[in-house]
Amino acid sequence: MKGFGKRKCLCCGDFFPPDYRNVLHQRYCSKPACRKESKAQSQRRWQQRPENQNYFRGPENRQRVKDWRKANPGYWRKKKSSTQVPLQEVFQAQVAQNEELNPRVTPDALQDLFPMQPAMVVGLISMMTGSALQEDIAATVGVLLRKGRDILDMNPGSETTRPYP
């Protein structure tokens, strides 16, 4: 916060450093009571303007609120966690087929198997295997690549025939 001094809060009177993004407008500090007073003062200023004095009154506004409440029943009620829709779709369990892995005499280096190596993916594989050794991660990457190619119906060394969405 270069060049901005402290400002005196209009509610509690304490000095505070204003937020650099709002330095021209901030008059209250970040204490909960002061934030509440700031909101109340802002609403009072808004309601004192002539065009806003009857904003929430009158039959048309009453009908607007009734229509909105009818279209949004239970809006103010908290939703129970058991009634919330999960983010993932429910799926049928599939039986995994065991496949034999042919151990290679000279395993590929991790850099050869997985040229991009984002740190997050390597970390994720490390967490899955419980090992931080490159040999273990390389073996797991090899298995994942073979399974991925099988899923995508790819032949090793060829490009996928399916277009990406």
Instruction: Please give the model's pTM, rounded to 2 decimal places.
Output: 0.38
Q: Identity (one letter) of the amino acid at 92? A: Q
Q: Which of 159, 136, 156 minimizes the C-alpha distance to 146? A: 156
- Residue 19 belongs to a domain: yes
When divided into structural domains, the chain yields a total of 2
Which segments in the chain show pLDDT lower than 70? 1-4, 79-90, 101-117, 154-165
Q: What is the pLDDT of residue 111?
A: 58
Q: What is the pLDDT of residue 36?
A: 96
**CA 164 – CA 102 distance, rounded (Å):** 31
- Residue 37 belongs to a domain: yes
CB 73: neighbour CB atoms within 10 A? Answer: 8
Q: What is the pLDDT of residue 102?
A: 66
- Residue 132 belongs to a domain: yes
- Residue 15 belongs to a domain: yes
Mean pLDDT of the chain: 78
Give me the domain span that covers residue 51. Answer: 7-57
- Residue 117 belongs to a domain: yes
Which of 41, 57, 73 is a domain's end point? 57
- Residue 28 belongs to a domain: yes
- Residue 73 belongs to a domain: no
- Residue 68 belongs to a domain: no
